[in-house]
Structure 1
């Protein structure tokens, strides 16, 4: 069973979400003097990161948050339903990118709003589990969607992404996560995976 954060239920009020209690991922503060605020409590209180802002490295600083509920309001049920109604992968992808994916990052703010440094905030992973969950829901909407993908495989120009494009894991977890073609990671209960979402 894979647990994830159902962001659409908290659109416009992320700071009230149970996941942002001290016993889970720590509180979600607003900005301090227009800037991010260090996580004030819980397991991740004053968590340090060396990455960011941007591509800066070896820059120790606390992971920060700065909630913007006007932005989080764009992560709700309307955006979710609009994206799930898209019939092609490119349309679904662009819908997700410019609604609840981007606004989930920007709504939490500060570290999460930094495209390079955002994995430094542990909530990044719960946010991306939600994005993965919505992709799975979209796939299940039609049989033809279960093996469809598109986009660019590289950032230099655009080598088309295909089912045979290799995903290189760089040995980050040894033999448990081998390099694999895209086709092997498109289904949660087939190929390399064996999990389902909690609902």
Structure 2
């Protein structure tokens, strides 16, 4: 059984090995055709484009947890088989660093980090919506140090609005090169990624409540950010992009933590093992189909279609992993 470790538990050489493998994927040619997907310039971008392609089905829906579990496993498989990484997917344990992201081993900007804050951008604004105002972070510009300081992102950005989305909005798969944007936001992390929130997740009596703490959808009038959104809004514009967020290398570690708490929640009660709730369409509209264990999910060029029951445990089928 493979062990997925928290980033700070890994030796410095292990962390560098992982970030080198991510950089390797950014150098490898894509499997998707650039003629159809102009913004896809690397194997790394194959994952970004796949996420964009299925965003309107696998967020704020019953597919969110199972689809991303397999997405992470496909990523881990790629860095290992295509780039020689010998470790396993790390995770970002949110509460450990919620009060000071810049001092964490993930975002301190050192060579053993995932790169740190961005250059200060005076034009960065606070974000308001759904009864909550998120103050701006401490950066707002290009990541200024660490292994991804010279990284280019190629796809997006997309609007934050989810109103009446029935197809992938502009800019679609257009090529739009720019830097990795970072803006560390301790306010978001300390309010919505803390020990209390994780405890609420683990104490959820059913999958409906678990998903509510995870995503808080539909949004509550008092303005509460789910822990999933909190991770995305903790690091800046690149990770905040619902469609193209895998362009920030922290995406996979954030979602590994989501998978970790889901796996531990499942293991705490046999009745939770196969618990599902929601539909196969974003925001669960009343006309969408309810998900079941036989609902088939897709990952395009990354994998074959799979029914949900194949991914409901880290110890079944092709999986054999656990978290520390």
**TM > 0.5 fold call:** yes
Paired residue for 1:22? 110
Partner of 2:281: 154
- Tell me, in whole angstroms, the C-alpha distance in 1 between the residues paired with 2:288 and 2:203: 27
| 1:119-158 residue CA offsets vs partner (Å, 9 max, x unmatched) | 1100011100011101011111111001111111134742
Aligned length, in residue pairs: 194
- Alignment partner, residue 141 of structure 2: 37
Give me the whole-angstrom Cα distance separating, in 2, the residues matched to 1:118 and 1:13: 22
What CA deviation, in whole Å up to 9, does each residue of 1:82-135 have, x standing for no partner? 111111111101111142211111011211111122111000111000111010
Matched ranges for 1:57-136 at <5 A: 57-73=174-190, 74-98=192-216, 99-136=226-263
Stretches of structure 2 lacking an aligned partner (at least 5 in a row) = 5-89, 125-139, 159-169, 217-225
Mind listing any 5+ residue stretches in structure 1 that lack a counterpart?
Answer: none
1:163 to 281, 293, 299: 293
Query: How many Å apart are 1:192 and its aligned residue?
Result: 2.8
The Cα of 1:34 is off from its aligned counterpart by 3.5
3-state SS, counterpart of residue 310 of structure 2: helix
Q: 1:31 to 1:158 in 2, by over 3 A?
A: farther
Aligned 8 A contact 2:114 2:148 in 1: yes
Equivalent residue for 2:305?
A: 179
| Cα distance in structure 2, aligned partners of 1:184 and 1:191 | 6
Question: Residue 192 of structure 1 corresponds to which residue in structure 2?
Answer: 318
Deviations 1:147-170 (A, max 9, x none): 111111134742111111111122
CA RMSD of aligned residues (A): 1.6
Distance 1:135 1:159 in 2: 23
SS of 1:92's partner is helix
Q: Which runs of 4+ in 1 moved over 3 A?
A: none
CA distance in structure 2 between the aligned counterparts of 1:9 and 1:82, rounded to whole angstroms: 16
* TM-score using structure 1 length: 0.90
* Alignment of 1:142 onto 2:269: yes
Tell me, yes or no, if structure 1 residue 46 matches structure 2 residue 150: yes
Between 79-88 and 37-46, report the one with greater CA deviation. 37-46
Give the secondary-structure state (helix, strand or coil) at the position aligned to 1:37.
strand
The structure whose RCO (Cα within 8 Å, separation 6+) is larger is: 2
